[in-house]
Chain A
Amino acid sequence: MTDRLGDRIPAAPEPTVETVGYWQAADSHRLMIGRCRTCGEAHFYPRARCPRCLSADTVLEQAEGAGTVYSYSIMRRAKVPYAIAYVTLSEGPTMMTNIVGCAADDIRIGMPVSVVFVESDGGHRVPMFEPAVIVAE
């Protein structure tokens, strides 16, 4: 499987009143995580109540958009194969995503990746990750 991943159009996310801010941020190419102003901890996915301390004082915070691949799998039983993955963000939380912009065989656990925002099927853009640009030595 040497095809470049990324031709698949993701299903449109279905936000709730609680999460529409996250998805609107994605439309403007910003990846958000949740941050609790009571305990200071980051979490993903962002939510109205902190999963560490149950405080309701949570805010969206823009993430750097950099991370490493925690795990991945290439879905072959699909019209267009795609790579599901967990990426651990530099801020700490790990999020589910897709890896795009490379060949399936090029993905490795631990690989540095950076966020891109992919148009969905008629809805908000979806944060995905591609291999981080390696600065030539």
Chain B
Amino acid sequence: MSIRNQACIAGIYEHPTRNAKDISLAALHGDVIAGALADAGLGKDDVDGFFCDSDAPGLGALSMLDYLGLSVRHVEASESGGATYLSQVAHAAEAIAAGKMKVAVISMAGRPRADAAAGGVAPRPFPPSTPDLQFELPYGAELVNEYALAAMRHMHDFGTTAEQLAWVKVAASHHAQHNPHAMLPKVVTVEEVLGSPMIADPLHRMDCCIVSDGGGAIVVVSPDIAAGLKRPVVKVLGHGEAVKHQNGGRIDLTFSAAAFSGADAFAEAGIVPSDIDYASIYDSFTITVITQLEDLGFCAKGQGGRFVADGGLISGVGRLPVNTDGGGLCNNHPGYRGGMTKIIEAVRQLRGEAAPQVQVKDCRLALAQAMGGSLGTRHAAATLILERH
């Protein structure tokens, strides 16, 4: 069985806030769920499936279902970091195809800025019993220097340059200027990226995504529900998910799990990368985009730097329009998790509802790609291929 054409995305909502100091985590979830349902033209009582990640308050989904008064017959609280929501769209499609539910809500929210401002110390992500951490934390391993390890090796093996990395940020900033909600709406140049402080060689501050509060939600419905809705819906065509890790010490940082998730998604959708009109590519760091573009087959391995250079990702002028909302580098990266906004902008593009300056003409096929965890140690990747109905 395939999920191809078995489910549709009928509603999306991205929270407009980037600083939620006056909004609780539960209320953020409530805001985005109500927003996505309203966008779909559906109500609370239509929902019979619920999906969230491990950052949702309470045990799994229980507290959120209680808080919102939702009654569902299919629940998934799963975790693959920023890639979670792309997998959940596919898992929702699977459950819909199996007849387990008809209307699923996928919700994510986070408020790391508000939590930090309130004096909270950033929580340690995992307990010491996590088997790998004792071999990493003594070395000062953080997300940024782990991704930097991958970037450094990419530069060494393929001649990728700091300028090429910078072009990913430059393209995001060109898009963000047209997004009234973007946290960093100012256009920047390659020189400005290279002139920003070095954080972890070769990654400058502007090679790194923002930290923001907020969240988003998606409504996934069965085709028969979709047929009765007024708003344009988007079909789920293909999906793949994969995990790549240190493999007992056989480490190759030059590719990501997107190599596997992308191949599966394209095979299920029955299309090839050159068919894609728009792509949302998770941009935790600039290297994240270059590596995934290669792994998805938009260019050959090692050619990602050349692919993104000279405005390659800028809508209307480049080779492939990528992250037209400004991405995690400029627009929004709620709760350190990028996947939700990646799906949302892909749906906007397919509906023709992106900002007019960045809307892809006759956008029919879109890809959303996300990664959760660390490119430098272990991560999950998920790919979604979506089609305009």
Residues of A within 8 A of B (CB): 8, 10-16, 18-19, 23, 33-34, 41-45, 47, 51-52, 70-78, 82, 84-86, 88-89, 92-98, 109, 120, 126, 128
Contact = CB atoms under 8 A, between A and B. Distances in A.
B119 interface: no
Contacts, number: 121
A36 to B, nearest CB: 9
Nearest to A9: B138
Given A73-B145, A73-B201, A96-B135, A109 B153 contact: yes
A84 B139 contact: yes
Given A84-B139, A94-B249, 12 more contacts: A11-B138, A15-B134, A45-B131, A73-B200, A76-B198, A76-B200, A84-B141, A89-B249, A94-B246, A96-B377, A109-B152, A126-B138
Contacts of B132: 45
B139 A98 contact: yes
Contacts of A82: 140
Nearest to A33: B249
B188 interface: no
A40 to B, nearest CB: 13
B118 interface: no
Contacts of A128: 139
B200 A74 contact: yes
Interface residues of B, number: 39
Q: Which of B142, B145, B198 has the most CB of A within 10 A?
A: B145
Residue among A15, A19, A70 with max Cβ neighbours from chain B (10 Å): A70
B344 to A, nearest CB: 31
A96 B136 contact: yes
Contacts of B131: 16, 18-19, 45, 47
21 contacts: A10-B138, A10-B139, A14-B133, A18-B131, A19-B131, A41-B248, A44-B135, A44-B249, A45-B132, A72-B152, A73-B151, A73-B202, A73-B203, A75-B200, A84-B140, A86-B251, A89-B249, A94-B250, A94-B251, A96-B377, A97-B139
A45 B135 contact: yes
Contact of B199 (A70, A76, A93, A120): A76
B119 to A, nearest CB: 21
B69 interface: no
Nearest to B147: A73
